[in-house]
Amino acid sequence: MPILDLCNVTMRFGGLVAVNDLNLKIEPGQLYGLIGPNGAGKTTVFNVITGVYTPTSGSVRFDDADIAGERSGLITRRGIARTFQNIRLFGDMTVLDNVKVAFHCRQSADLAAAVFRTGTHSSEESRVERESRELLHIFNLDGMAGEKARNLPYGSQRRLEIARAMATSPRVLLLDEPAAGMNHHESVQLMELIRWIRDRFGMAVLLVEHNMKVVMGICETVHVLDYGSTIAIGKPAEIQANPKVIEAYLGGA
Amino acid sequence: MRSALLTSGTVALLFVLNALFTGSLVSGFAMPPYILQVLCLAGINIILAVSLNLINGFTGQFSIGHAGFMAIGAYASAYVTVAWGDRFRAATSFLPEFARDGVLLLFALAVGALLAAIAGFFVGVPSLRLRGDYLAIVTLGFGEIIRVFILNIDVVGGARGYSGIPKLANFFWIYLFAAITVVVVSRTVKSSFGRTLIAIREDEIAAEAMGVDTTRSKVISFVLSSAMAGIGGGLFGHYLMYLHTNSFTFIKSIEIIIMIVIGGLGSITGSVLGAILFIALTEGLREFSQYRMVLFSLLLIVIMIVRPQGILGHLEFRHFFGRRRRLAAPTPPVIP
């Protein structure tokens, strides 16, 4: 049974149909690539899944519950986390605190516990501290834990965004162009990292990416959008040979 | 253990200082009443500035209606002591005289804080959906609504002002609550909940995407901030023994904002410093009272040019003194 199931989703902005009758099913643990030329509606799909937009029609089911139009915070707590195409870190907070914020939604100690410094609060704080540092270690950021997020180099900021999303313990991770602005070496490392965290934590990954090497290298299924409509779904090798995909990217003969 | 010692130490110190300043400890020595009053008003300013910093500096929601919540706390707690004071004293007649006053003051402040918190909730829920300038204007409006509403309640004096409030607050109580405010706000900010507030200030959309219930966090911080402003107002009334709605116009809200902007938005130490600096300047420039606001404006302009983040920016006291607490790095997990 798919963990994330978009059924006949259409998203209109006035006269513009950004996403047209989309059907997308992601199995648990799957690496699913979503590609398409600029303006194909990839980020709109992300925003529909994470509750930023309510779809004009169609249903979004996560773990057999309809989540279309729920608040983003609630959807994250259900188990869908995302990164942003244009990095959105908490710039003035430290790297460590960026990750700690994402742990908040799985914490139970409330404000009163913090003000009176109860035992539950301090034990929970030290657990969050430990788990955050473990995550930073996985993403090779532990040397920068005390640094302000805005002072990090670009590639590290991208990795921190993924680390922060992982801290919400998602079952589906949405990555919006994680390799954007990375050089060849960095994107190869990122590819390995994405595959590794999928194997280690077992969540499904939905990847939007322009870098074909990354998409074709790690995705098990590739979904191609053009002008909001699906033009092909299949294995990377099939997609690369699909004449419709080639036409969408390179233009008709 | 350490914090219990620190708490009782602070209370004892404030008690002794209070006795010293009022002249009951060493005969023949007392703080000049004028200086003592300035010190007490500085303490009330600290409560107001630190509490406003929670919402403006840490959560990043620009509110300019703080005087309104202060007014609610002031009038509600004054009404409690004036209208129910005798009955309350009779009910607690088994206590010694000074304890009876203390208990009455605490009860009045609790009522004032509760009402200010309720008002904060009802103002916060609709207004905190707005951002930036819009939020500022709406909170400004609510602050004025509260003031005009109180102006038209006859039992608390209306336009004549509310007189006959017993002098229950003194140096001890004011600085006790100033210390409590500082502790509560700094613990809040350092907690997991506090991190969500700072995250909202930094990027609200990302905070929501990380599973933070941003509306809930903002409303809680607004309510907490309002309750503390209510306590500040209650102490204000019980110290000056007279209240008039003219003390709670939006000018008062602006003054509190000046304190936290001078000190540094997002720094508790900065707010304390800003509150003290503000009253020191107001009193120091009393001779030039005609030009006081001009000088304030100039000071603000200079600070905005030279140090736009305020005197301390986001830094705290312990950054300069105290030990740097370093948590031992945990052993990293073994990665296959």
The reply to whether B84 touches chain A by the CB within 8 Å rule is no
Question: Which residues fall within 8 angstroms of residue A1, CB to CB, at 6 or more apart?
Answer: A64
Weakest mean pLDDT among A20-24, A89-93, B19-23, B265-269: B19-23
| Per-residue pLDDT at B322 | 55
Centroid of chain to Cα A222: 16
Is the CB of residue A144 less than 8 Å from the CB of residue A203? no
CB of B196 within 8 Å of a chain A CB? The answer is yes
Do residues A20 and A60 both lie within one domain? yes
Of A60, A63, A32, the C-alpha closest to A44 is A60
Interchain pair B199, A128: CB under 8 A: no
Q: Please tell me which residue of chain B has the smallest CA distance to A193.
A: B335
- Residue B3 has a pLDDT of 76
| Distance from C-alpha of B261 to C-alpha of B49, rounded to nearest angstrom | 10
| Inter-chain CB proximity B192 and A109 less than 8 Å | yes
For residue B91, what pLDDT is reported? 87
In a shared domain, residues A177 and A236: yes
Domain parsing of chain B, residue ranges: 39-248
* pLDDT for the residue B40: 94
For chain A, what is the mean pLDDT?
88
A56 close to A148: Cβ distance less than 8 angstroms: no
Residues A125 and A154 in one domain: yes
By DSSP bridging, strand A65-66 and strand A172-176 are unpaired
Which residues in chain A (40-59) have CB-CB distances under 8 A to chain B?
Answer: 50
Provide the pLDDT confidence category of residue A88 given band limits of 50, 70 and 90: very high
Q: Do B330 and A130 touch (CB under 8 A)?
A: yes
Q: Looking at residue B1, what is its pLDDT? A: 59
Query: Whole-angstrom Cα distance, residue A44 to residue A224?
Result: 14
- Asked if residue A138 has pLDDT above 80, the reply is yes
pLDDT per residue over B265-303, tens digit each? 889 999 999 999 999 988 888 888 788 878 888 888 888
Residues of A in contact with B202 (CB under 8 A): 89-93
Determine the distance in angstroms separating the CA of A117 from the nearest CA of chain B, rounded to an integer: 8
> Is the CB of residue A90 less than 8 Å from the CB of residue B206?
yes
Instruction: Choose the closest CB to B202 out of A74, A90, A124.
Output: A90
The CA-atom distances, in angstroms, between A237 and each of A20, A101, A206, A226, B167 are: 25, 40, 18, 19, 84
Q: What angle do CA A121, A127, A133 make, to 5 degrees?
A: 135
Q: Does A105 touch chain B (CB under 8 A)?
A: yes
Greater confidence (B108 vs B86) lies with: B108
Indicate whether A252 and A174 sit together in one domain.
Answer: yes
Per-residue pLDDT at B335: 46
B220 chain-A contacts, CB cut-off 8 A:
111
Regarding whether A160 and A183 lie in a shared domain, the answer is: no
Structure tokens at B26: 């060493």
One-letter amino acid of B13: L
**Best residue of B188, B192, B195 to probe chain A, by most A CBs closer than 10 Å:** B192
The pLDDT tens digits for B297-335 are: 888 888 888 888 888 777 777 777 655 444 444 444 444
User: pLDDT-derived band of residue A251, with 50, 70 and 90 as boundaries?
Assistant: confident
Residue in B2, B129, B180, B210 to test binding to A, most A beta-carbons within 10 Å: B210
B322/A contact by beta carbon, under 8 A: no
Could you list the residue range(s) of the whole structural domain that residue A145 is in? Answer: 90-169
Which of B3, B195, B213 is opposite residue A97, by nearest beta carbon? B195
Query: What pLDDT is stored for residue B49 in this prediction?
Result: 96
- Per-residue model confidence (pLDDT) at position B168: 92
Query: Mean pLDDT, to the nearest integer, of B81-101?
Result: 87
Q: State pLDDT tens for residues B55-77.
A: 999 999 999 999 999 999 999 99
Give B1-17 pLDDT, tens digit per residue. 577 888 888 888 888 88
CATH of the domain at A37: 3.40.50.300
Q: Is residue A85 part of a domain?
A: no
Q: pLDDT tens digit string along B207-260?
A: 999 999 999 999 999 999 999 999 999 999 999 999 999 999 999 999 999 999
| pLDDT recorded at residue B307 | 85
Share of chain A above pLDDT 70, in %: 99
pLDDT at A237 over 60: yes
pLDDT digits (tens, 9 = 90+) for A171-228: 999 999 888 888 888 888 888 889 988 998 889 999 998 888 888 888 999 999 888 8
Q: Is residue A56 part of a domain?
A: yes
Percent share of chain B, pLDDT over 90: 59
A174 and A158 share one domain: no
Tens-place pLDDT, residues B190-207: 999 999 999 999 999 999
**B259: its two tokens:** 């304190």
- On whether both A38 and A109 belong to a single domain, the answer is no
Looking at the 3D structure of chain A, how many domains does it have? 2
Three-class SS string for chain B?
Answer: CHHHHHHHHHHHHHHHHHHHHHCCCCCCCCCCHHHHHHHHHHHHHHHHHHHHHHHHHHCCCCCCCHHHHHHHHHHHHHHHHHHHHHHHHHHCCCCCHHHHHHHHHHHHHHHHHHHHHHHHHHHHHHHCCCCHHHHHHHHHHHHHHHHHHHHCCHHHCHHHCEECCCCCCCHHHHHHHHHHHHHHHHHHHHCHHHHHHHHHHHCHHHHHHCCCCHHHHHHHHHHHHHHHHHHHHHHHHHHHCEECHHHHCHHHHHHHHHHHHHHCCCCHHHHHHHHHHHHHHHHHCHHHHHHHHHHHHHHHHHHHHHCCCCCCCCCCHHHHCCCCCCCCCCCCCCCC
Domain final residue pick, A169, A202, A223: A169
Which band of pLDDT confidence, cut at 50, 70 and 90, is reported for residue B148? very high
Q: What is the ipTM of this complex?
A: 0.89
Q: Do the Cβ atoms of B208 and A73 come within 8 Å?
A: yes
Q: Which of A169, A195, A227 is the last residue of a domain?
A: A169
Domain-terminating residue out of A169, A184, A215: A169
Interatomic CA distance for residues A106 and A127, integer angstroms: 12
